[in-house]
Structure 1
């Protein structure tokens, strides 16, 4: 039986973004293994990681712990992970490695170098390079040379947004480059879900009269939730409620900010939720102020719900949202623009309807079935490349 190894920095990357890929590989006759850091760094809860391990066992997927860090300056952990992965490749004689995330990609491609001479194929999916138009110069100085160097040891480089694809195609040395727009979303399941709306509203302390704005993402600097919190006092409407779904190191800081601005009763911190699609379905608007993205799944899920969108004018978001066609693309740091955009949606039901209709139409291009078919073609032909 052919063997494939899925590698990422953290377990949540496999759990949230690669189970479809694993299922495709299994259907193609591969025995699939997983290697990543199960012990720290994931953006989901500890209980979710525990449950995920059990699900892997049930699916007969062997998994291995690697101490891959999320910080590129933790050199010791990176070298330890590389050594452990090299041993794993030698012991299991893999035919294919599919790696993800910047550090996971470096560890995997470094470990796989000598094995490629024996026929091992390496696919690397970049879920959004750290260097992009408008990124800090330090990101270009540090991450660009690393990605360019390791592209030499990549049989297929997959990028998930158009900006990254054009850059990799022109600047990198990978044998082949492919644009695949993310992992896709199940448009039909999201847009036609059935559940008890009243129960969920009650659980979250909300009512039918509230105008519900929702964001999804780790409570981190990168996700930029504070700009939306700062916009709430400018709206001066206590019926506007802001749901933030996610865990992260900035939770206390964001709660303190909301309290200091007098809007703490309008902000609901849900923590990690497994029912994001339902929370989106009770919402009136999706706000996504992120500073950096590849091709955000949560934004695609919001489009499939469907919801009107207010989001930052950055790479990835621009692939999905056209300003004043299916949402607003605005400066990520301007709370005044966030307030004005949300007010326009609040005041104009016809505008909300227009954006919802357009989003449901546009997101069909990113349906999971289309993406899965593309990945099946890639896995089926990788040995011929």
Structure 2
């Protein structure tokens, strides 16, 4: 079967989709990739025969470059005779499905990594993204969602005849890479990373952006500094708010308690040295950083947003905090600091919950979904 994967940028493919594409290529399918190549595609994919088509998809839907991207993706689809297209990310998925709107012989899937309209989202999100998603769903054979709120929203969409809505457990976490934390491993790595055993370390692996809302965490550290003298907040990521957050840390006199690490490829180690993981995000799909922390066996303090609340159950494996509530964040973190037994209990529960979110389980879910469409295509050919 000839399959096309589309995503706005190649970094998204590299970060989340490599095992999914490998599933298809190992089964003998031909898989091409269309995306804006902001970084070289993982060589494992090119070695398996994937052809990469550089399409100028833009993250902003209003960029004029998307007109050119639409023309290129439509030309590519018409020339290459794909039988199945699996689209990811809002802009690429819209342009891809719009290009295929009059091609019902091509099966189209869209994985929703987080609708831009959601409970408590700005009105403009509902006015812009909701009608667009309803429109393009009419040219979609399958919607794949990752959290309960998106699943409910997707069920309200009108898909092509015999279209289906699915819910999978995220993109999958490699449970061999993110292993349960032990004190010996933690302390050994802390020496390598120049942290003290007595440091109380919080970790947040996410882009530095308005959406991820790190200013709440910086303020919480400011409130906790006198109560937890060795508190450290590790922020792993880059983004357009980096300078602003660094200025905030200096202004609050917590620059020695907060480390801006930039882009990192050692997230599993950073999770291993931490005492707890935090997420202050305003909006999520099903956050990989939270799942990776849970796989490591960490307790969590997260905001009450879609995705976060699917993974973290208040009082079971962490605390779910009102959005923007700095005092609640600080109190929850302090509770974990004061009660290491409670932290250990929450961490053990996190690891147990993550069993169903493992890469192995998610790949099985995706295999079942793909099998439906591959079977349909084979039946068409025989017919």
Give the TM-score normalised by structure 2: 0.93
Unaligned runs of 5+ in 1: 40-48
Task: Pick one of 170, 182, 185 that aligns with 1:182.
Answer: 170
Q: Within the alignment, does 1:251 sit opposite 2:242 as a pair?
A: yes
Q: Within the alignment, does 1:15 sit opposite 2:14 as a pair?
A: yes
Post-superposition offset of 1:360: 1.1
**8 Å contact from structure 1 (residues 308, 327) kept in 2:** yes
Task: Pick one of 134, 137, 140 that aligns with 1:151.
Answer: 137
Q: Within the alignment, does 1:308 sit opposite 2:299 as a pair?
A: yes
**8 Å contact from structure 1 (residues 121, 383) kept in 2:** no
**8 Å contact from structure 2 (residues 114, 284) kept in 1:** yes
Q: Within the alignment, does 1:89 sit opposite 2:77 as a pair?
A: yes
Aligned mates of 1:57, 1:185 — CA distance in 2: 22
Aligned mates of 2:309, 2:316 — CA distance in 1: 12
The residue number in structure 2 matching 1:332 is 323
The residue number in structure 2 matching 1:214 is 203
Change (3 A) 1:262 1:53: same
The residue number in structure 2 matching 1:317 is 308
Change (3 A) 1:193 1:186: farther
The residue number in structure 2 matching 1:34 is 33
Aligned mates of 2:327, 2:110 — CA distance in 1: 39
Post-superposition offset of 1:202: 4.7
Aligned mates of 2:249, 2:197 — CA distance in 1: 23
Post-superposition offset of 1:266: 0.8
**8 Å contact from structure 2 (residues 89, 112) kept in 1:** yes
SS at match of 2:334: helix
Aligned mates of 1:279, 1:233 — CA distance in 2: 22
**8 Å contact from structure 2 (residues 89, 113) kept in 1:** yes
**8 Å contact from structure 1 (residues 204, 268) kept in 2:** no
Q: Within the alignment, does 1:347 sit opposite 2:338 as a pair?
A: yes
The residue number in structure 2 matching 1:114 is 102
Q: Aligned pairs, how many?
A: 371
**8 Å contact from structure 2 (residues 143, 166) kept in 1:** yes
CA-to-aligned-CA distance 1:267-293 (integer Å, 9 cap, x gap): 111111111011101100000110000
Aligned mates of 2:23, 2:47 — CA distance in 1: 16
Q: Within the alignment, does 1:71 sit opposite 2:60 as a pair?
A: yes
Aligned mates of 2:65, 2:189 — CA distance in 1: 43
Aligned mates of 1:53, 1:214 — CA distance in 2: 27
The residue number in structure 1 matching 2:288 is 297
Post-superposition offset of 1:171: 3.7
**8 Å contact from structure 1 (residues 105, 124) kept in 2:** yes
**8 Å contact from structure 1 (residues 233, 261) kept in 2:** yes
Post-superposition offset of 1:56: 3.5
CA-to-aligned-CA distance 1:304-360 (integer Å, 9 cap, x gap): 101000000111111111111110000121111111110000000111011011111
Aligned mates of 1:192, 1:329 — CA distance in 2: 22
The residue number in structure 1 matching 2:367 is 376
Post-superposition offset of 1:242: 0.3
Change (3 A) 1:272 1:330: same
CA RMSD of aligned residues (A): 1.7
Alignment of 1:250-289 (within 5 A): 250-289=241-280
**8 Å contact from structure 1 (residues 243, 268) kept in 2:** yes
Post-superposition offset of 1:187: 2.4
Unaligned runs of 5+ in 2: 377-383
Q: Within the alignment, does 1:125 sit opposite 2:111 as a pair?
A: yes
The residue number in structure 1 matching 2:232 is 241
Change (3 A) 1:214 1:355: same
**8 Å contact from structure 1 (residues 96, 122) kept in 2:** yes
**8 Å contact from structure 2 (residues 246, 255) kept in 1:** yes
Post-superposition offset of 1:188: 4.1
The residue number in structure 1 matching 2:123 is 137
Aligned mates of 2:54, 2:319 — CA distance in 1: 42
**8 Å contact from structure 2 (residues 109, 140) kept in 1:** yes
**8 Å contact from structure 2 (residues 107, 141) kept in 1:** yes
